[in-house]
Structure 1
């Protein structure tokens, strides 16, 4: 992901470093996704202005959109027409047409080899993807964040003490005494 000098007013770009056979990924690895398109009105694109980049987007929202697009390609506006046609054929056949699936499996296998070279562990199961909370290192009880040891039982006493401060002398000199 590369960020332009005027980010967040202009969108970053995203390019895959490894080969990705996907309807919305160009041959050079650039990703075609509405959220990363500049916020201009382009009736030819078929995108609504609200689908394009805006400065409230951040890395998290970009990555969530990318994951969503990888899982559900936009075949109506493909960056890779061949992959789009193959994907639609695979989906319409309910997975019986294996051409698209075989390409994806080969790419996944190659990416695992690349990941291992880089010392990256690729999760293989849903359980591997889920981040498990680590138990606290010490045995201290977790307490309420807002618990500041303020004694709530004495609040009424404190209010009664403060009520005496409400009585004051009227030094305004307007002669009204109540």
Structure 2
């Protein structure tokens, strides 16, 4: 089902963004001993900890949230958002789609001068943006999901870190 494929792309995009930023993994909590460290200076063990936190935040986005986004996206192609959302929710989980490649780790942070706290803030803003989408949201809200002030900081300090989530959804037909 193409809507499920879109859902997979959106989740992969969030996972990539999550590996670029880490504010979300602790539910937006601050005060971690790693918050002040630059991502590029993390040890492999610290990077794994940050990635685990980020994955946790990405997993906190519900299937309903993702299906709402899929519905809004489908509405741009003439489908009714609520119908597309309900089809997505009722569709069985595809085990292959659930397995995302592990692209997060110390090597992904090389050269990145953003701090862990800045990364967490970006991921939190993306997750909050995902949760805020409803069938009443304009299609533009989806294309702007990663374009927050928090993610602008990440992009400035870690060029390319926030591009994947939008590029992967653009040009994909439902």
TM over 0.5: no
TM-score range, shorter chain: under 0.3
More helix per residue: 2
> Which has the larger Rg?
1
Task: Report the TM-score, using the length of structure 2 for normalisation.
Answer: 0.24
* TM-score, normalised relative to structure 1: 0.23
